[in-house]
Amino acid sequence: MKFNIQQIVPILLLAGSLSSCESLLKIDNPLNERPSAVVFSSPEAAKMALSGAYSQLSSNSTFAFTLTSFNGMAADEVRYNSAAQFGDVMSNTYDPVTTTALPTIWTDIYASIYRFNSVLSGVQDNSALSITLAQQMRGEALTMRAYCYFHLINMFGEVPLVLITDANITGLQSRTPVSDIYAQLVSDLEEAKTLVAEEYSGTNRMQVNRASVQALLARIYLHIGNYTQAAANADAVIAQTNRYSLVPKEQLKNVFLRNSTEAILQLGPALNANNGYTTEGSSFIPYYETSIPNYVLTASQLASFETGDTRREVWVAERTVNSVLYQIPFKFQNKDQATATASGRVEVPMILRLAEQYLIRAEARFRTNNVEGAREDVNIIRRRAGLDDVPTGTDIAAAILKERQTELFCEQGNRWYTIKRTGVADAVMSVLRPSTWQAFAKLYPIPQSARDTNPNLTQNEGYR
Element (H, E) at 268: none
Residue of 139, 350, 363, 121 lying closest to 254 (CA atoms): 350
Pairwise pLDDT comparison (118 vs 9), residue with the higher score: 118
What mean pLDDT is predicted for residues 198-209?
94
Q: Is the pLDDT of residue 401 over 80?
A: yes
DSSP one-letter code for 330 = -
What SS3 state is found at 85?
Answer: coil
Q: Is the pLDDT of residue 360 over 70?
A: yes
pLDDT of residue 108: 97
Q: How far is CA 60 from the centre of its chain?
A: 12
* pLDDT tens digits, one per residue of 40-91: 999 999 999 999 999 999 989 999 999 999 999 999 999 999 767 899 999 9
Determine how β-strand 350-353 pairs with β-strand 263-266. Answer: antiparallel
Out of 22-31, 171-180, 251-260, least confident range: 22-31
Burial 48-69 (b: 16+ CB within 10 A, else e): bbbbbbbbbbbbbebbbbbbbb
Residue of 121, 272, 258, 144 lying closest to 196 (CA atoms): 144
The C-alpha atoms of residue 344 and residue 41 are separated, in whole angstroms, by: 40
Q: Is the pLDDT of residue 11 over 60?
A: no
pLDDT of residue 27: 35
pLDDT of residue 310: 98
Element (H, E) at 220: helix 210-224
Asked if 76 and 416 count as a contact pair (C-beta separation under 8 A), the reply is no
pLDDT of residue 83: 66
pLDDT bin (cut points 50, 70, 90) of residue 397 is: very high
pLDDT bin (cut points 50, 70, 90) of residue 274 is: low
Name the range with the highest mean pLDDT among 17-31, 51-65, 350-364: 350-364
326: which strand partners?
319
All domains in the chain, ordered by first residue: 1-192+423-453 (1.25.40.390)
The C-alpha atoms of residue 164 and residue 151 are separated, in whole angstroms, by: 19
Residue of 6, 38, 24 lying closest to 166 (CA atoms): 24
pLDDT of residue 37: 63
pLDDT of residue 295: 98
The C-alpha angle 223, 295, 157, rounded to 5 degrees, equals 25
What mean pLDDT is predicted for residues 304-310?
98
Q: Is the pLDDT of residue 118 over 80?
A: yes
**Max intra-chain CA distance, the chain:** 68
What mean pLDDT is predicted for residues 221-237?
98
Beta-carbon contacts of residue 340 (< 8 Å; ≥ 6 apart):
275, 276, 277, 334, 346, 347
Q: Is the pLDDT of residue 3 over 50?
A: no
Beta-carbon contacts of residue 367 (< 8 Å; ≥ 6 apart):
225, 227
DSSP one-letter code for 328 = E
Residues written for the chain: 464
Asked if 27 and 165 count as a contact pair (C-beta separation under 8 A), the reply is yes
What average pLDDT does the chain have? 91
Single pTM value for the model: 0.92
Beta-carbon contacts of residue 64 (< 8 Å; ≥ 6 apart):
58, 278, 279, 280, 349
Phi, psi for 420 (deg, rounded to 5): -75, -45
pLDDT of residue 126: 97
